[in-house]
Amino acid sequence: MTAPNSMPSRLRLRALLGALAAGLAAGGALVAACSSDSSSTGTTTTTTTTSSTTQTGGAGGTTTSSTTTSGGSAPGGAGGTGGAGAAWPTCDAQPGGVATLTIPEIWQADPATPTEVWVNDAIVTAVSRDGCVAGQACQIFLQADSSYASLAAGAHHGIKLFVSGPTAQYFTGVGVDDVVDVLAHAWRYNLDTQNELLLQVNSQLRGCAKTVGNLPAQPITGVTLADLTVQAYEQDVGPLLIQVDTVSGTPGLPLETFGLWETGQFSDAGISEVVSLSPFFLPNAVFTGLGGGQIAFVSVTGVFGLFVPPPSGPKFKEIYPRSMADVVQ
């Protein structure tokens, strides 16, 4: 059966994407997530380029989905502790007076304001651009355990550590599969339209991470694109390393994200419903080795996350592979 050709909805989608590109991009295809620490607000800004691609659906129709050259959301932060003259923490030892919390305990506490915490033995599942760079905002995904039998079993066991550009120099040695002790500030970042529980480090909210071991995490299998919702990320599950099988997509430029759909199933989902594959956590934040045209992937592995362009979204659902070995054709 041939699926309907929903041209009006695709035209509206293209118009929306064009407006986002004009409003968010500085004109160019450069992917950037820049951060500036303000003494009063710790404001962080993100520059992104957004475009659209029309792709052939698996069941006969055409589908349109977003391609967003961006990384995850890049929050700023409220003013915090740590005087300018104090030595930067090293995580060689847990500071006195700082509570030890597991990642699930942070989810349970769900602090509304930045709260200093110490997390032992967290596993690094992804680092933006495959490694923090001094002067450039950095995002690090963490998990409490190396494997989970299902999304439900792993719920509230993952969290993102967001590091501002001026403090990224203290995290340059952190890599995927590292086991780290972390000092950071936990809170539910709910400014603008964002609503993400995270760990944060900036010039006012000081922190560190020290590698204490190595343990590769295993992706949760049996996950479908339908499982990856905004509600799942923000409230029910959080950022976990997952694997989706038998999905298709049409790559664009190497630095662009592109939408995914279940192979063989027609979808005319709008921009807020598409799950995209993003290169933001790959080396240099670019895809390599993807040919032109539609690709049916055997599997895609990556950390599930959101990207929320400031100041008001929309919220893009993303899968972040860590190397091209995570993208199996």
**pLDDT single digits (tens) 199-224:** 999 999 999 999 999 999 999 999 99
Q: Is 108 helix (H, G, I), strand (E, B) or coil?
A: helix
155: tokens are 């719920």
State the Cα torsion 17-226-286-305 to the nearest 10°: 90
**What is the model's pLDDT at position 262?**
95
Q: How far apart are alpha carbons 3 and 267 in whole angstroms?
A: 9
**Over 80: is that where the pLDDT of 20 sits?**
no
**What is the model's pLDDT at position 84?**
52
Per-residue confidence band for 312, with pLDDT thresholds at 50, 70 and 90? confident
Q: How far apart are alpha carbons 204 and 185 in whole angstroms?
A: 10
Per-residue confidence band for 268, with pLDDT thresholds at 50, 70 and 90? low
Which of 24, 72, 73 lies closest to 49 in space, CA to CA? Answer: 24
- Domain boundaries for CATH 2.40.50.140 within the chain: 99-214
DSSP 8-state secondary structure symbol assigned to residue 70: -
From the number of C-beta atoms within 10 Å of its C-beta (0-12, 13-18, 19+), residue 100 rates as exposed
- The reported pTM is 0.80
Across 93-99, average pLDDT? 96
Per-residue confidence band for 126, with pLDDT thresholds at 50, 70 and 90? very high
Highest mean pLDDT among 31-35, 219-223, 287-291: 219-223
Per-residue confidence band for 73, with pLDDT thresholds at 50, 70 and 90? low
Across 134-154, average pLDDT? 98
DSSP 8-state secondary structure symbol assigned to residue 164: -
State the maximum Cα–Cα separation within the chain, in Å, rounded to a whole number: 69
- Domain 99-214 belongs to what topology? OB fold (Dihydrolipoamide Acetyltransferase, E2P) (2.40.50)
With tokens 């900036």, the residue in question is 202
Which of 308, 280, 327, 324 lies closest to 73 in space, CA to CA? Answer: 308
Rounded to the nearest 5 percent, the helix, strand and coil shares of the chain are 15, 35, 50
If phi > 0 it is left, if psi is from -120 to 50 it is alpha, else beta; for residue 172 that is: alpha
- Number of alpha carbons in the 13 Å side-chain half-sphere of residue 156: 11
**What is the model's pLDDT at position 291?**
83
Q: How far apart are alpha carbons 37 and 80 in whole angstroms?
A: 12
Candidate from 118-122, 263-267, 288-292 with smallest mean pLDDT: 263-267
**What is the model's pLDDT at position 17?**
35
**What is the model's pLDDT at position 271?**
66
220-223 and 241-249: which strand pairing? parallel
Supply the mean pLDDT for the chain: 80
